[in-house]
Structure 1
Amino acid sequence: MIKYHGTPIGGSKTDAVQALTGRFGLVPYSRPDQLNIVLQYCKGFVLDNGAFSDWRKGYTEYRDYNGYTAWVEKLQEHPRFHWAIIPDHIAGTEAQNNAYLKRWPAHLKGVPVYHMHQPLERLLWLAQNYEIVALGGGNGYEVLKSRAWWQRIREMMDIVCDEFGRPLCQLHGLRMLDPKVFSLLPLASGDSTNVARNSGQAARFAGTTATTRGERACLIADRIEALDSARYWRREGRQTSLLDSFYNVAQAA
């Protein structure tokens, strides 16, 4: 499983270089602050359209489709470019998001997003028509690892995996670099801003040798990368028990 670490990483340029060197990065269109560091030091990278930021600000449409595609077209020439998230709207309708897919230039390597409130039939259609599908939140599923979130994940995996638990396409988990999530799902890749957010909380690292933000970022990233995703999806039995167990632990914390 490839883990893409979201940028920008806080602290100095030295901290960011230390955190990202030899890893995989994600650069959002809305915050390309550390694009040059990612291009120079990461093993590979993906581009994010920044729709999550737009959604949190209350926008109901993706604001700069043409600007984003021009940005992707330029960066696609880089030898370590992997792919870009096709513009989407987290709370948008199926028709709205399908319209964004139709606008996407065929020569750009783009990945569609399935939002959890959308019909499961759309997820199946995406998996049958794209090499990679990104799985994101949606209306009613904003809280990662909530009971509703896990229940929907079960339904999604049952639809998008074959009888042996193998996904019909490569699956990418948006904001899913929590080991308690990706270790149970057959993801090919995932991303999050865990490193960027949590490396700034120095108090959490008391008693460790990580004194700089770069060192703290490396410690978080190393812990994430020490584990891998599940080889396949288990529909019943142990998998269900594990999901319920993780939910109950989170609720008790």
Structure 2
Amino acid sequence: MHYHGTPITPRSALYELAGRCFCVSFADPRDVDVCHEIGQSVMLDNGAFGAWTRGQRTDWPAYYEWSARWLDVPTTWAVIPDVIDGDEDANDQLIDEWPHGRRGAPVWHMHETLDRLARLVATWPLVCIGSSAMYAKLGTGPWTRRMAETMDVACDERGVPRTRLHMLRGLALSDGPYPFFSADSTNVARNHAAIPSRGKAATSPGAMAARIDALQPARRWARPARQDVMELVA
């Protein structure tokens, strides 16, 4: 599933994505009503990444209250609060404090231990994966090697994910080798009015979303030989 980040402006551009999936951040929830009116599914993001980049803290009780307004919608789910540069104990505590049960999904950060990942995929129906620390940039050599390790843990011996996996800020990987259940990004929101083209229709929000949504990831994780991994990241 492809979750398109908001806000998407102008409002007419948002309506071009009617019937698609949306990601609405607590940091800027202006589109949340419309997304629930026209969207297939809505992901409520906790806004931690934006707050972290600005050196700010998020008001978690306010996030609990805000998300509660929408989590009675069957196709809406929320990202459980997380501390991007925090330790595992801090993030586990936030999971324990989450008041909305399985309507939320915990975040595993790629710099955290694989043991924590194994524990989360064994106990949660949906787990978010976040690029972080030395693995913050998608597609680099360290990131690719770490993602291979991630998939080895998150998938069984047949390469089938042990639970549903959501890649945060990962729509660029929609046609990649990783069997994600879903991913999100703000690609359409940021670029639909910024990319020059010979024909306006080619870069309309609806056309951009259609191209992204047409891409599908691998159904199973094909464990590469060590030499294949080294060649991939060389």
What interval of TM-score do these two structures reach, taking the shorter chain for normalisation?
over 0.9
Q: TM-score, normalised by structure 1?
A: 0.86
Residues 1:40 and 2:42 are matched in the alignment: no
Partner SS, residue 23 of structure 2: strand
Residues 1:76 and 2:86 are matched in the alignment: no
Per-residue CA deviation, residues 21-65 of structure 1 (Å, 9 max, x unaligned), is 010001000100111220111111110000001110124xx5211
Residues 1:99 and 2:93 are matched in the alignment: yes
Q: Which residue number in structure 2 is paired with residue 120 of structure 1?
A: 114
Q: Which residue number in structure 1 is paired with residue 7 of structure 2?
A: 8
Q: TM-score, normalised by structure 2?
A: 0.93
Q: Which residue number in structure 2 is paired with residue 226 of structure 1?
A: 214
Counterpart pick for 2:181 among 183, 188, 193: 188
Task: State the shift of 1:107 in Å.
Answer: 4.2
Partner SS, residue 210 of structure 1: helix
Partner SS, residue 165 of structure 2: strand
Amino acid at match of 1:13: R
Contact 2:102–2:125 (CA<8 Å) still a contact in 1? no
CA distance in 2, matches of 1:87, 1:51: 7
Counterpart pick for 1:129 among 97, 102, 123: 123
Contact 1:24–1:42 (CA<8 Å) still a contact in 2? yes
Contact 1:76–1:108 (CA<8 Å) still a contact in 2? no
CA distance in 2, matches of 1:113, 1:167: 16
Residues 1:156 and 2:139 are matched in the alignment: no
CA distance in 2, matches of 1:138, 1:169: 21
Unaligned runs of 5+ in 1: 249-253
CA distance in 1, matches of 2:204, 2:109: 32
Contact 1:150–1:243 (CA<8 Å) still a contact in 2? no
Percent identical among aligned pairs is: 36
CA distance in 1, matches of 2:55, 2:101: 31
CA distance in 2, matches of 1:157, 1:6: 25
Amino acid at match of 1:133: V
CA distance in 2, matches of 1:151, 1:240: 11
The 3 A distance-change label for structure 1 pair 36 and 238 is farther
Counterpart pick for 1:17 among 15, 18, 39: 15
Contact 1:199–1:216 (CA<8 Å) still a contact in 2? yes
Aligned residues: 234
CA distance in 2, matches of 1:13, 1:39: 14
Amino acid at match of 2:39: C
Task: State the shift of 1:154 in Å.
Answer: 0.5
